[in-house]
Amino acid sequence: MDYKAAGVDIDAGNETVRRIKSLAKSTFTAGVLSEIGSFGGLFRLDTTGAKDPILVASADGVGTKLKIAFMTNVHRTIGVDLVNHCVNDILVQGARPLFFLDYLATGRLQPDVAEQIVEGLARGCRANGCALLGGETAEMPGFYADGEYDLAGFIVGVVDGGQLIDGRSIIVGDVLIGLPSSGLHTNGYSLARRIVFDHLGLDVDARISELDATVGEALLASHRSYFNAVSPLVARGAIKGMAHITGGGITDNLPRILPQGIAARIDRASWEVPPLFQWLQRSGEVPEEDMLRTFNMGIGLILVCPTALAETVLDDLRTRGESPVVIGETIPGPSIVTYS
């Protein structure tokens, strides 16, 4: 008996590292001091111009969206999903991403699949100006089904204390601005899969005319990043609070940033729900309340700003190619979301 016979191929692991080294290196920023393969990643924090630098960290995964990647055998986008999700999670507190780490676990390591995944991670990191500093690839025979894997990400960013966004300054009468999502992002896939594959009996190659895409294409649409569009507004102090609309939808995520005694009123008619969500709701006969607590419904990020700055914020976002929409306002009440 040897380790390979037991299911762990060290040579495949070394080949994977060889393939991904150049991908990771393409993301390195000036702060990176180590190479891929070190026991720990080294990063020098540049605090020039920051009076009170605060590190902001987050960890997340992409949930059962991975199942769609397995079914389609498309692995180049899932890394982008993960990076952008994590970037958005620290952006809502005003942070700029510094570096990213990944954890990839699988039953049997396939270097070509791992390379595709890391290619997506590197692409996401480059687009957001952060370094893919390192990670872990674990081969765990007997733990995952053949051809399946799990993927998690860990991000660290920095924000100056004077630009930290925590929602404490939100008051009654502030404006809620929504930015469009690019699909389901990385949430709601358990329900979506139940509707599409179990209830409708479709496969990933089935073409849905009203979506002008196959099932696989629609469900694999990448989770977008809002960093480049929103960070200039953060620097100017125009934003009081931000909510990344992930699991729980607007209903559960927006209250996370509301101070005590402040509620949010959302005008459901202020934006058009994208066809994908309409199709899922109709096909699965999903109650409206469940849709709003499961999916982003076309709004991926919500900004809270004072009324006096609302038009300026909207104009700024439009110049960056965004399609922002005023979706509601803050009102007195318990920290919940109401819909009108």
- Quick one: 196 and 309 in the same domain? yes
**Cβ neighbours of residue 194 closer than 8 Å, sequence gap 6 or more:** 284
- Quick one: 16 and 56 in the same domain? yes
Domain-located, residue 168: no
Cβ neighbours of 223 (radius 10 Å): 28
Domain-located, residue 4: no
Residue 4 has pLDDT above 80, yes or no: no
Whole-angstrom distance, CA of residue 125 vs CA of residue 205: 30
- Quick one: 205 and 124 in the same domain? no
Render pLDDT for 49-82 as a digit per residue (tens, 0 to 9).
Answer: 889 999 999 999 999 999 999 999 999 999 999 9
User: What does the pLDDT read at residue 227?
Assistant: 98
Which among 112, 143, 163 is the end of a domain? Answer: 163
Domain-located, residue 70: yes
Domains contained in the chain, number:
2
Mean pLDDT, rounded, for 162-171: 95
Q: Are 224 and 127 a contacting pair, CB within 8 Å?
A: no
- Quick one: 328 and 186 in the same domain? yes
Domain-located, residue 5: no
- Quick one: 101 and 146 in the same domain? yes
Residue 37 has pLDDT above 90, yes or no: no
Whole-angstrom distance, CA of residue 220 vs CA of residue 77: 8
CATH number of the domain encompassing residue 91: 3.30.1330.10
- Higher per-residue confidence, 105 vs 3: 105
Domain-located, residue 169: no
Q: Please report, rounded to a whole number, the percentage of residues in the chain having pLDDT higher than 90.
A: 90
Domain-located, residue 298: yes
Residue 114 has pLDDT above 80, yes or no: yes
User: What does the pLDDT read at residue 36?
Assistant: 83
Residue 8 has pLDDT above 90, yes or no: no
- Quick one: 185 and 318 in the same domain? yes
- Quick one: 143 and 205 in the same domain? no
CATH number of the domain encompassing residue 182: 3.90.650.10
- Quick one: 179 and 263 in the same domain? yes
- Higher per-residue confidence, 173 vs 13: 173
Mean pLDDT, rounded, for 179-195: 97
| C-alpha closest to that of 95 among 158, 52, 51 | 158
Residue 6 has pLDDT above 80, yes or no: no
Domain-located, residue 306: yes
- Quick one: 183 and 328 in the same domain? yes
Domain-located, residue 1: no
Q: How far apart are the first and last CA of the chain?
A: 67
Mean pLDDT of the chain: 95
Which among 163, 197, 221 is the end of a domain? Answer: 163
Whole-angstrom distance, CA of residue 90 vs CA of residue 83: 11
- Quick one: 204 and 335 in the same domain? yes
Band of residue 14 on the pLDDT scale cut at 50, 70, 90: confident
Distances 205 to 71, 72, 300, 331 between C-alpha atoms, Å = 10, 8, 26, 46
Whole-angstrom distance, CA of residue 224 vs CA of residue 179: 11
**Residue 313: domain span:** 175-339
Residue 3 has pLDDT above 80, yes or no: no
Q: Is the pTM of this model over 0.75?
A: yes
User: What does the pLDDT read at residue 13?
Assistant: 77
- Quick one: 112 and 193 in the same domain? no
Render pLDDT for 121-157 as a digit per residue (tens, 0 to 9).
Answer: 999 999 999 999 999 999 999 999 989 999 999 999 9
User: What does the pLDDT read at residue 5?
Assistant: 73
- Quick one: 205 and 314 in the same domain? yes
Whole-angstrom distance, CA of residue 136 vs CA of residue 106: 11
**Cβ neighbours of residue 318 closer than 8 Å, sequence gap 6 or more:** 324
User: What does the pLDDT read at residue 185?
Assistant: 97
Strand 213-214 relative to strand 299-305, pairing? unpaired
Which among 118, 143, 163 is the end of a domain? Answer: 163
Residue 2 has pLDDT above 90, yes or no: no
Band of residue 7 on the pLDDT scale cut at 50, 70, 90: confident
User: What does the pLDDT read at residue 82?
Assistant: 98
